[in-house]
């Protein structure tokens, strides 16, 4: 996407073709800062500490982290160590393991001397594939938005989204935002309700920033407003992303997504999940029982970051020192609450049959 008119991806290589460059998303929306990752461990820290975040971008960063490893130690031991270190950064987004497995499958059969070049080539391909997948998700999902616009016969299509499943969560386009960007580019009147998404406020600091930069009308709301908006007919569609979706269509996504799905179900609002196929975990079925939910530091709950009136970006404590702080980072929305999945191969039901209809080569393996 463009930032001040300049095209960007969220991750790319520098002119040397080896240094990896990422947008430090902790600094947004106040400062746009691109940082260099020069080692495997720097890539690992960037994922763990959420300089980069979002399932597809986590996968792409891990792939480049493996390539950075191959620069310094392309041995089998080095490959195994990189897989272990990078896979340990965050537990929930399945794209991380998927990308590392893709890289290992390419690299392991090669002699060490050939691994660096092959690693960068495959990491670049993962990034390019992500962009193509998300563009296709946009093309599949925009039809949903256009259908609502036609039915309404006027006024904006009001879409609620949670967290950031935008171009910053992927290499480009985003998943949940791809249909929105495409609708905007096709002249469809859209408006987005942006959940701030506590505790790290990916909605307030990332989605709102993205949409503003792309000229998409939007309104930032607190996480707890979504149900009220739906009760009053102010939401036509909910579109969210996912970090891991099971073979039967259970959707793991940022904490609070399940509550939006409940409100949508109660109010008859379609609840759609933008789902790139690398985010499908074909090895699990019961999301509640089988998906590991990341528990992040309570510091993220007890403190908030912002910019003071004097312009200083700092954090302030919002909870008593004596309070316990809990921070589960994701929840699981059962397939029964999901109206449909938007994939790069089209729309399908959140069911084994739905996924098998689009991905017959994967289902049931
Ligand atoms: C397109 S995946 C985006 C997904 O990732 C976010 O989690 P995090 O910011 O902690 O990496 C959130 O669940 C988004 O829906």
User: Is 230 in the same domain as 284?
Assistant: yes
Question: How much is the pLDDT for 5?
Answer: 86
User: Is 206 in the same domain as 340?
Assistant: yes
pLDDT-derived band at 11 (thresholds 50, 70, 90) equals: very high
d(CA 263, CA 218): 20
> Domain of 162?
144-358
Which of 129, 162, 185 terminates a domain? The answer is: 129
- The residues pairing with 190 across neighbouring beta strands, listed in sequence order, are 157
- 302-338 burial code (b ≥16 CB/10 A, e <16): bbbeeeeeeeeeeeeeeeeeeeeeebebbbbbbbebb
DSSP-derived secondary structure for 72-93: H--SHHHHHHHHHHHHTS-SS-
Complex prediction ipTM = 0.98
CATH of the domain at 336: 3.40.50.10470
Is 231 marked as binding a ligand? no
244-246 and 313-317 strand pairing: unpaired
Ligand 1 atom nearest to CA at 254: 13
Tell me, yes or no, if 266 is annotated catalytic: no
User: Is 121 in the same domain as 212?
Assistant: no
Ligand 1 atom nearest to CA at 53: 11
User: Is 52 in the same domain as 189?
Assistant: no
pTM above 0.95, yes or no: yes
Residue 118 CA, chain-centre distance (Å), reads: 26
Question: How much is the pLDDT for 112?
Answer: 98
- The residues pairing with 53 across neighbouring beta strands, listed in sequence order, are none
Q: Residue 50 CB: number of other CB atoms within 10 A?
A: 19
User: Is 312 in the same domain as 228?
Assistant: yes
pLDDT in tens, 354-364: 999 999 999 86
Helix ranges (DSSP H) in 153-308 = 177-185, 202, 208-213, 226-231, 257-267, 287-290, 299-302
Ligand 1 neighbourhood includes 54 CB (under 6 angstroms): yes
pLDDT in tens, 170-228: 999 999 999 999 999 999 999 999 999 999 999 999 999 999 999 999 999 999 999 99
Mutation test residue for ligand 1: of 253, 256, 291, the one with most atoms within 8 Å of CB: 253
Ligand 1 neighbourhood includes 226 CB (under 6 angstroms): no
d(CA 85, CA 7): 32
Does residue 138 lie within any of the structural domains? Answer: no
Question: How much is the pLDDT for 364?
Answer: 67
* Continuous segment of H or E residues that includes residue 191: strand 190-195
Round the average pLDDT of the chain to a whole number and report it: 97
Is 63 marked as binding a ligand? no
Ligand 1 neighbourhood includes 241 CB (under 6 angstroms): yes
CA within 13 Å, CB half, 114: 6
Q: What is the number of structural domains in the chain?
A: 2
d(CA 219, CA 192): 6
DSSP-derived secondary structure for 4-62: TTEE--SEEE-TTSSSEEEE-TTSTTT---EEEE-SHHHHHHHHHTTSS-SHHHHHHHH
User: Is 331 in the same domain as 183?
Assistant: yes
d(CA 89, CA 96): 9
φ, ψ for residue 237, nearest 5 deg: -150, 145
d(CA 180, CA 142): 7
pLDDT-derived band at 104 (thresholds 50, 70, 90) equals: very high
Separation in Å, CA 72 to CA 47, 60, 66, 113, 223: 20, 19, 10, 11, 45
User: Is 114 in the same domain as 168?
Assistant: no
Ligand 1 neighbourhood includes 202 CB (under 6 angstroms): yes
User: Is 123 in the same domain as 207?
Assistant: no
Ligand 1 neighbourhood includes 53 CB (under 6 angstroms): yes
pLDDT-derived band at 365 (thresholds 50, 70, 90) equals: low
Question: How much is the pLDDT for 363?
Answer: 80
Question: How much is the pLDDT for 29?
Answer: 98
Ligand 1 neighbourhood includes 230 CB (under 6 angstroms): no
> CA triplet 21, 173, 115: central angle to 5 degrees?
40
- The residues pairing with 159 across neighbouring beta strands, listed in sequence order, are 192, 237
271-274 and 237-240 strand pairing: parallel
> How far is ligand 1, taken at its centre, from the CA of residue 114, in Å?
34
User: Is 73 in the same domain as 150?
Assistant: no
* Residue from 172, 243, 250, 281 carrying the catalytic annotation: 243
> How far is ligand 1, taken at its centre, from the CA of residue 165, in Å?
6
User: Is 180 in the same domain as 293?
Assistant: yes
User: Is 114 in the same domain as 154?
Assistant: no
Is 71 marked as binding a ligand? no
Residues 44-61 have a mean pLDDT of: 98
Mutation test residue for ligand 1: of 10, 50, 53, 275, the one with most atoms within 8 Å of CB: 53
User: Is 206 in the same domain as 110?
Assistant: no
> How far is ligand 1, taken at its centre, from the CA of residue 60, in Å?
14
d(CA 351, CA 162): 22
Residues 294-318 have a mean pLDDT of: 97
Ligand 1 atom nearest to CA at 294: 10
Ligand 1 atom nearest to CA at 252: 13
Does residue 135 lie within any of the structural domains? Answer: no
Comparing CA positions, the residue from 309, 330, 305 lying closest to residue 25 is: 305
Ligand 1 neighbourhood includes 55 CB (under 6 angstroms): yes
Cβ-count burial of 356 within 10 angstroms (0-12 exposed, 13-18 middle, 19+ buried)? middle
Is 202 marked as binding a ligand? yes
Residues 131-156 have a mean pLDDT of: 97
End-to-end, the C-alpha distance of the chain in Å comes to 36
Residues 153-168 have a mean pLDDT of: 97
Residues 107-125 have a mean pLDDT of: 98
């Amino acid at each position: 996407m463009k930032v001040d008119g300049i095209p960007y991806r969220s991750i790319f290589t520098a002119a040397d073709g080896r240094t990896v460059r990422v947008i430090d998303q902790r600094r947004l929306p106040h400062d746009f800062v691109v940082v260099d990752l020069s080692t495997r461990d720097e890539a690992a820290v960037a994922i763990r500490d959420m300089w980069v975040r979002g399932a597809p971008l986590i996968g792409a960063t891990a792939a480049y982290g493996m390539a950075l490893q191959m620069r310094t130690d392309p041995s089998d031991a080095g490959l195994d160590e990189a897989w272990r270190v990078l896979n340990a950064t965050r537990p929930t987004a399945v794209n991380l393991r998927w990308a590392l497995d893709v890289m290992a499958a390419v690299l392991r059969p090669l002699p060490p001397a050939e691994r660096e070049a092959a690693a960068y080539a495959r990491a670049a391909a993962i990034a390019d594939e992500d962009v193509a997948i998300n563009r296709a998700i946009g093309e599949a999902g925009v039809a949903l938005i256009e259908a609502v616009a036609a039915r309404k016969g006027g006024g904006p299509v009001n879409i609620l989204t949670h967290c950031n499943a935008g171009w910053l969560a992927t290499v480009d386009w985003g998943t949940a935002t791809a249909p929105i960007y495409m609708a905007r580019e096709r002249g469809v009147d859209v408006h987005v309700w942006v959940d701030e998404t506590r505790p790290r406020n990916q909605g307030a600091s990332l989605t709102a920033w993205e949409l503003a930069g792309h000229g998409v009308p939007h309104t930032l709301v607190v996480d707890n407003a979504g149900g009220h908006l739906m009760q009053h007919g102010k939401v036509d569609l909910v579109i969210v992303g996912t970090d891991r979706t099971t073979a039967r269509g259970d959707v793991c996504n940022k904490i609070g997504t399940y509550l939006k799905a409940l409100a949508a179900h109660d109010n008859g609002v379609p609840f759609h999940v933008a789902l790139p196929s690398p985010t499908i975990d074909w090895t699990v079925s019961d999301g509640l029982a089988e998906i590991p939910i990341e528990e992040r530091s309570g510091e993220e709950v007890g403190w908030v970051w912002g910019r003071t009136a004097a312009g200083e970006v700092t954090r302030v404590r919002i909870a008593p020192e004596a309070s316990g702080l809990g921070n589960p980072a994701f929840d699981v929305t059962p397939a029964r609450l999901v109206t449909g999945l938007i994939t790069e191969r089209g729309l399908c039901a959140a069911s084994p049959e739905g996924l098998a209809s689009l991905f017959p080569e994967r289902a049931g393996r």
